[in-house]
């Protein structure tokens, strides 16, 4: 299948095709913890968005990500205007939103390899993908976590790569059609 440029186009095609799985790459050491290369945030569908912390681009040309937080909610919530601010400076990087006037923040402690999402502290060595459910509503909660090697080819859409690897994550985000 030819790769397309945006997740909003690719994701529905992958879901319709059953989201072919690919084996996760072999992990390698990325060295000492330092400031991040960047932080990304975007909508994937009208119900799912994501924010992610980019560690680096490794010498093999792979993007290395420390943490992905998928934000799942009511249909259409991703079209609402929000305000997003972020910083990548150690010791704690953050992705901070105001969505429909409500604050939402993810902190990644680069010295402790742990994230703070809502009221939970999450060790990224055991859970580096987090799903927060309830956007567009009054109550948000961590509804799912998993751990993957968050390494993806630079030319790929990393979020789609991670979704392809995990049918359980697809189910947690309601991206699998009912059978």
- In-domain check, residue 112: yes
Mean pLDDT across the chain? 81
Q: Is the dihedral of CA 42, 139, 143, 74 positive or negative?
A: negative
Integer-rounded Cα Rg, in Å, for the chain is 16
- In-domain check, residue 97: yes
Q: Report the pLDDT value the prediction gives residue 178, as an integer from 0 to 100.
A: 67
Closest-CA residue to 112 (of 100, 121, 99, 101): 121
Answer whether residue 52 shows pLDDT above 50: yes
- In-domain check, residue 177: no
Domain that holds residue 148: 35-154
CA-to-CA distance for 169 and 91, rounded, in angstroms? Answer: 29
- In-domain check, residue 116: yes
Which helix (H) or strand (E) segment holds residue 14: the answer is helix 7-16
Q: Report the pLDDT value the prediction gives residue 147, as an integer from 0 to 100.
A: 98
- In-domain check, residue 8: no
- In-domain check, residue 19: no
- In-domain check, residue 170: no
Answer whether residue 136 shows pLDDT above 70: yes
Q: How many domains does the chain divide into?
A: 1
- In-domain check, residue 11: no
Residues 108-115: contacts with CB within 8 Å, 24+ apart? 108/36, 108/53, 108/66, 108/67, 110/33, 110/34, 110/35, 110/36, 111/33, 113/33, 115/67, 115/69
Tokens 């567009």 correspond to 136
Answer whether residue 173 shows pLDDT above 80: yes
């Amino acid at each position: 299948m030819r790769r397309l440029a945006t997740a909003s186009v690719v994701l529905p095609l992958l879901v319709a095709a059953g989201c072919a799985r690919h084996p996760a790459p072999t992990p390698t050491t990325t060295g000492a913890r330092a400031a991040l290369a960047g932080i990304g945030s975007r909508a994937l569908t009208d119900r799912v968005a994501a924010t992610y912390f980019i560690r680096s681009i490794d010498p093999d040309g792979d993007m290395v990500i420390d943490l992905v937080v998928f934000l799942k909610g009511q249909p259409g919530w991703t079209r609402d205007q929000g305000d997003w601010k972020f910083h990548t400076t150690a010791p704690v990087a953050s992705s901070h939103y105001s969505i429909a006037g409500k604050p939402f923040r993810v902190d990644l402690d680069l010295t402790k390899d742990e994230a703070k999402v809502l009221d939970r502290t999450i060790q990224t060595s055991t859970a580096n993908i987090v799903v927060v459910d309830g956007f567009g509503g009054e109550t948000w909660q961590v509804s799912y976590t998993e751990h993957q090697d968050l390494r993806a080819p630079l030319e790929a859409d990393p979020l789609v790569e991670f979704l392809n690897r995990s049918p359980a994550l697809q189910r947690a985000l309601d991206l699998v059609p009912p059978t």
